[in-house]
Chains A and B, each alone.
Chain A
Amino acid sequence: MVVTTDWTLSDLADLLKGEEWQAADKVTQALLLAAVNREDAGSLTALDLAQLPCELLHDVDRLWVNASFGHFGFSVQQRIYTELDGTFDPASLSPSHPHPFVQTVGWLMITVPRPLAFFKFYDFLNFSLDAPEGHLPALWYWQLSWLESLRTGGLGTGRGGGYADLARLDALMLRLTRCGQI
């Protein structure tokens, strides 16, 4: 995928209005990468996520929430993540035993039973309003460097086929919480 820095919020708004969910997800990722100058890396680390500008996160989220009637968006994901707090033992989490959030939003290849919890390949995500709540945006989580992809058990194809990464997930959720305190 070609990442350009030319995307703007209004491009995102247009795509979302046209229910071009996958394209909108890609533009969203491009906007996030540009905001922390990570266009070259092509993926967001936990530290990158922790430094995303609150205003951008807020604006992007608002567009997603509005276009999807509250179905997609960062704030939707944050709500689900927070609601799951206390329903599991944090100490038991591991790459192969992921945070229940990823299952709730439908990111796992559910055909494969745990403890081997693999993630869906990106193209096989459900880019429609039929998808589970909080299913999108997803590319911020999916897009990994080739090396990272291998390290998380993937095939150099991003998150697809690999294990969960709590650090990234928690980093964005924590970021959203911190931004909410301004």
Chain B
Amino acid sequence: MVRDVYSPPKLAFLVKLIEPELNPEELAAEAQYLLEDLQDLSGLGQTRFQPVENPQGEGPFQTRVQSGVQFEAPPDRLRAILKRLCNRLDDKPLETLVLIQQGQMRLQVQTHEAAVLAGIVEAAEAMLDPQSIYLAKAETYCRTHGEISPAEDANLELLRQRLGLSPQEAEVLKSEALGPYKTLAEKRQRFREVLMEELARENPLSDETWELLEELADNLNLPQDEATALYQERLHQIQVEAEAIRRQQEAEAEVARQAAEREQIQEQHRQQQLGRQQQLDDYREMVRQVLQNALYAPAFDQGRLEQARRLWNIPPNEAQQIEEAVRSELHGSIRSALGVDYSRLRQLLWSQVWQEADQETENVLLKALRQNMEPVDRNALLQLPCVDLLTIDELWSRYSSGRFGFKAQQQVYQQVDKRPADFLRMVEWRGSRVSLTGGIKPYKNLQFNANAPLGHLPTWRWCCPSLESGYDVSESIVDGLFLHLGKCLSMEAPPLPPTIAALAGE
């Protein structure tokens, strides 16, 4: 569809300074300012300005001095041009001649007062054909707000009627004024699009680019401040985004820095722990050497250990734990589920003082099982925790090379097919049946030495009410103890042979 675009005739302008007070140089300068002022107006990019020159002086000395400017402009720029000239007069009231020509019509005014110049606007517009006036009005509206508001539209409608234009003609002119982007939103959108493209190319925009964009805004009839606002908004948004990205990068850097710091601290800690562990291991090894042939450190070695403790800063309780662990490892564990202290028993057995060890065995058992130290009966015996039963057994066994202890006694018991009476005779706790006392011996007549029969020790004096009249162990106790021991041994996982244990450890 071919649009019926109305292109109005151009207006010719002549502006000339005729202020008599000015000397030629001043006149030339003012004329130059005038030219620049007008060139500065938007919508006059295509306009060719021609200087107007006045002859100055007489005869051969005559020179030509610039005193004004001459140009053609579209009719819609009429008001803008006149307004700019008015502003100049407001600023500096120089006597000025303004001549406007449209076809055969010509309007001329000479004044130094802005008000007078402003007064010719209506007259000048009257020179124009109705279309030009309508278009100029519509363009003015567009320029101020970027679109035609309803009030402005109503004004234009009145103008159309006054000028006697047909509604169709008016519509075409309005479209012309509005340009391809009808509404402010569309114009903004278009401007924003171009702005974004430009920003994608360079950021921030160079002055040249911005001038081009200003021209675009002008061509779009997008008001200048709108364009600036869009640019500022966009610029702000970009700054916000850039700020956000910068912050995020900073945060990430901070996180990374903290992680590195933590890692470093952990590494230091690991190193310290490794160092600490090494010290503790060294101390443990020292204790091991000291305790190799002694249950407790001799005075001389105690001094050495004390020095090491001070050197490596090992607190007494930790040192004690290490020492006890090493002692248990080297000389037998004294674990107890009841908090009974078996260290004296271990010491006595280590020293091979069998009778005292036997007495201590009674002591620990009564303490473990009886609040009031009364003799242990079968029921009480069955309450003895396996840990304690096995601890006592292992201590006796360890220091007698397996000759003494509950397991040695169990071995005897099994040899006699679990007959309690035969067991008592086998371990020589009872003598010959035919003796006067029925074979019962006084406790003192038992054998407290390493050559005693297998399973002879420890005695079970802890179940006896008296000892000297006769060490008499009842058959129900014999049965009870081996029942309990069997249960404890079956519950305890059989230890793996060393080779298999080593393989499992790998």
Q: Are A170 and B363 in contact (CB under 8 A)?
A: no
Given the complex, which residues of B lie within 8 Å of A50, measured CB to CB?
Answer: 374-375, 464-466
Q: Are A90 and B444 in contact (CB under 8 A)?
A: yes
Q: Are A178 and B444 in contact (CB under 8 A)?
A: no
Cross-chain contact of B445 among A46, A90, A175, A181 (Cβ < 8 A): A90
Interface check A1, CB cutoff 8 A = no
Using a Cβ–Cβ cut-off of 8 Å, how many residues does chain B contribute to the interface with A?
20
Instruction: Mark B363-403 against chain A: 1 for CB-CB distance below 8 A, else 0.
Output: 10011000011110000000000000000000000000000
Instruction: Mark B437-468 against chain A: 1 for CB-CB distance below 8 A, else 0.
Output: 00001101100000000000000000011111
Q: Are B467 and A170 in contact (CB under 8 A)?
A: yes
Interface check A100, CB cutoff 8 A = no
Query: Which residues 41-69 of A sit at the B interface, judged by CB distance below 8 A?
Result: 46-47, 49-51, 53-54
Interface check B47, CB cutoff 8 A = no
Closest to B465 in A: A50
Closest to B470 in A: A167
Given A90-B444, A178-B373, A182-B373; A46-B363 close (CB under 8 Å):
no
Given the complex, which residues of B lie within 8 Å of A71, measured CB to CB?
Answer: none
Interface check A99, CB cutoff 8 A = yes
Given the complex, which residues of A lie within 8 Å of B469, measured CB to CB?
Answer: 46, 93, 165-167, 169-171
Q: Are B466 and A178 in contact (CB under 8 A)?
A: no
Q: Is the interface of A mostly helix, strand, loop or mixed?
A: helix
Interface check A13, CB cutoff 8 A = no
Closest to B371 in A: A182
| A179–B464 alpha-carbon span in the complex (Å) | 14
Interface check A112, CB cutoff 8 A = no
Q: Are B466 and A166 in contact (CB under 8 A)?
A: yes
| A168–B441 alpha-carbon span in the complex (Å) | 16
How many A-B residue pairs lie within 8 Å, measured between CB atoms?
A: 66
Cross-chain contact of B468 among A49, A94, A170, A178 (Cβ < 8 A): A170
Given the complex, which residues of B lie within 8 Å of A53, measured CB to CB?
Answer: 372
Cross-chain contact of A174 among B363, B441, B442, B466 (Cβ < 8 A): B466
Closest approach, in angstroms, between the C-beta of B84 and any C-beta of chain A?
Answer: 121
Given A49-B465, A181-B373; A93-B363 close (CB under 8 Å):
no
Closest approach, in angstroms, between the C-beta of A100 and any C-beta of chain B?
Answer: 12
Q: Are B470 and A51 in contact (CB under 8 A)?
A: no
Given A51-B374, A181-B373; A93-B468 close (CB under 8 Å):
yes
Most central of A49, A54, A167 by chain B CB within 10 Å: A167
Given the complex, which residues of B lie within 8 Å of A93, measured CB to CB?
Answer: 442, 468-469
Closest approach, in angstroms, between the C-beta of B381 and any C-beta of chain A?
Answer: 15
A residues adjacent to B (C-beta < 8 A): 46-47, 49-51, 53-54, 90-91, 93-94, 99, 165-171, 174-175, 178-179, 181-182
The 7 tightest CB contacts between A and B, nearest first, are A50-B465, A167-B469, A166-B469, A171-B466, A170-B466, A170-B468, A178-B373
Q: List 30 A-B contacts (CB under 8 A).
A: A46-B465, A49-B466, A50-B374, A50-B464, A50-B465, A50-B466, A51-B465, A53-B372, A90-B442, A90-B444, A91-B442, A91-B445, A93-B442, A94-B436, A165-B469, A166-B466, A167-B465, A167-B470, A168-B466, A170-B468, A171-B465, A171-B469, A174-B467, A175-B465, A178-B362, A178-B366, A178-B374, A181-B366, A182-B372, A182-B373
B residues adjacent to A (C-beta < 8 A): 362-363, 366-367, 372-375, 436, 441-442, 444-445, 464-470
Given contacts A171-B465, A179-B373, 20 further A-B contacts (CB under 8 A): A46-B465, A46-B466, A47-B375, A50-B374, A50-B464, A50-B465, A51-B372, A51-B375, A54-B373, A91-B441, A91-B442, A165-B469, A166-B468, A167-B470, A169-B466, A170-B466, A170-B469, A178-B362, A178-B374, A181-B373
